[in-house]
Amino acid sequence: MHFLVIKLKRNFFAILFLLFAISLLLFSKNNLISVKNGLTLWATSVVPSLFPFFVATELLMHTNIVNFFGRICERFMKPLFNINGRGAFGFIMGLISGYPMGAKIACEFRKNNVCSKAECERLLSFIVGTVGISMFGNTTIGVLLLITHVLASLTVGYIFRFWKKENYRSSEPTSYITPKSMVTFSNLGEILSESITSSIQTLLIIGGFVVIFSSIISILKASGIVNNIYLLGILEITNGISSLSALHIKNISLPIIFTAFLLGFGGISILLQVWSIISRSDLSIKPYFYGKLLHGIISAFYTFIAIYCFPFLNFNL
């Protein structure tokens, strides 16, 4: 039995991927529809909404804007989150651009020595991304989720200031750097080309994960293994939130609270996207995973408190 367990561990991924391939054949009809829907979602929603922000973020990384954020935000970033002020750029652009841009910025910070390894891992723990916060067709719900989402992120960042305690008391002054390749009129074309190429690569990674997880969700539904909206939402956030917003139940507060958790946690698909990005650096995925799990729990808690403490936020029919 012990030998069998060892063999299973050694061949776990081989067995898993083989089952996935067999399932693609068995449920080919459903998979074809799901893959088409996933590609449509990526092409008509993800690319138009994220691509311009990705390019803009890449271009800003070639200017002094990161140092500008450092000077402005140093006075609260260091004491609150134990990250030098330039980390605020990653937080804000993650909020504007959505997942997984914040993780990519953290990796670029590490690559260019903008922040230390410990600071980049702390930044990973509370980077924030927006995903369809108004799918419920109600502006109030969208604003509520956005506020609790950001507040939970800041709470996690404060908690994770103790990550790698040996660096907690660091009082070294921030040294302001010159971007690796400062954009000028002479190299504008080259920088723009590099920014577009990098943004396309990131979008292709996102698109691949959207398609793969659309297929996985289709298999789980068709086989009857998992057909629970909440569990499927943990796998892939966009499909999960879309399904939750379409529920026709009187106690709508429950889907809203769980949506807050999903927005904070991000789902397995987002986790793997971030992992694929930071695998190119020496950053650990652990602070991201722990931080996003805590982020989801705190987001749900804040949303629960808001709904049941303020009558105008109680959406139950």
Annotated domain spans of the chain? 26-163+197-313
Dihedral (CA of 210, 216, 219, 224) sign: negative
So what's the pLDDT on residue 135?
58
Cα dihedral 92, 98, 102, 107, rounded to 10, equals: -140
Distance CA 125, CA 94 (A): 12
pLDDT for position 1: 64
For residue 69, what pLDDT is reported? 84
Distances from the Cα of 100 to the Cαs of 128, 129, 159, 269, 271, in angstroms? 9, 7, 22, 11, 9
* pLDDT confidence of residue 196: 94
Token couple for 240: 């999960």
The CA-CA-CA angle for residues 151, 289, 82, to 5°, reads 55
Query: Are 252 and 245 contacting, i.e. CB atoms less than 8 angstroms apart?
Result: no
Average pLDDT, consecutive stretches of 10 residues, N- to C-terminus, the chain (317 residues): 69 88 89 88 83 89 86 88 88 80 85 85 81 61 87 92 63 48 85 92 88 89 79 80 71 84 89 88 90 94 90 67
User: What are the phi and psi torsion angles at 116 (to 5°)?
Assistant: -70, 170
In this predicted structure, what is the pLDDT of residue 197?
94
Q: What is the pLDDT of residue 241?
A: 74
**Secondary structure of the chain in HEC code, one letter for each residue:** CHHHHHHHHHCHHHHHHHHHHHHHHHCHHHHHHHHHHHHHHHHHHHHHHHHHHHHHHHHHCCCCHHHHHHHHHHHHHHHHHCCCCCHHHHHHHHHHHCCCHHHHHHHHHHHCCCCCHHHHHHHHHHCCCCCCCCCCCCHHHHHHHHHHHHHHHHHHHHHHHHCCHHHCCCCCCCCCCCCCCCCCCCCHHHHHHHHHHHHHHHHHHHHHHHHHHHHHHHHHHHHCCCCCHHHHHHHCHHHHHHHHHCCCCCCCHHHHHHHHHHHHHCHHHHHHHHHHHHCCCCCCCHHHHHHHHHHHHHHHHHHHHHHHHCHHHCCCC
CA distance 64 to 244: 42
Predicted local confidence at residue 172, as pLDDT: 45
What pLDDT, on a 0 to 100 scale, did the predictor assign at position 171? 41
Cα gap 209→31, rounded to integer Å:
14
What whole-number distance in Å separates Cα of residue 42 and Cα of residue 65? 30
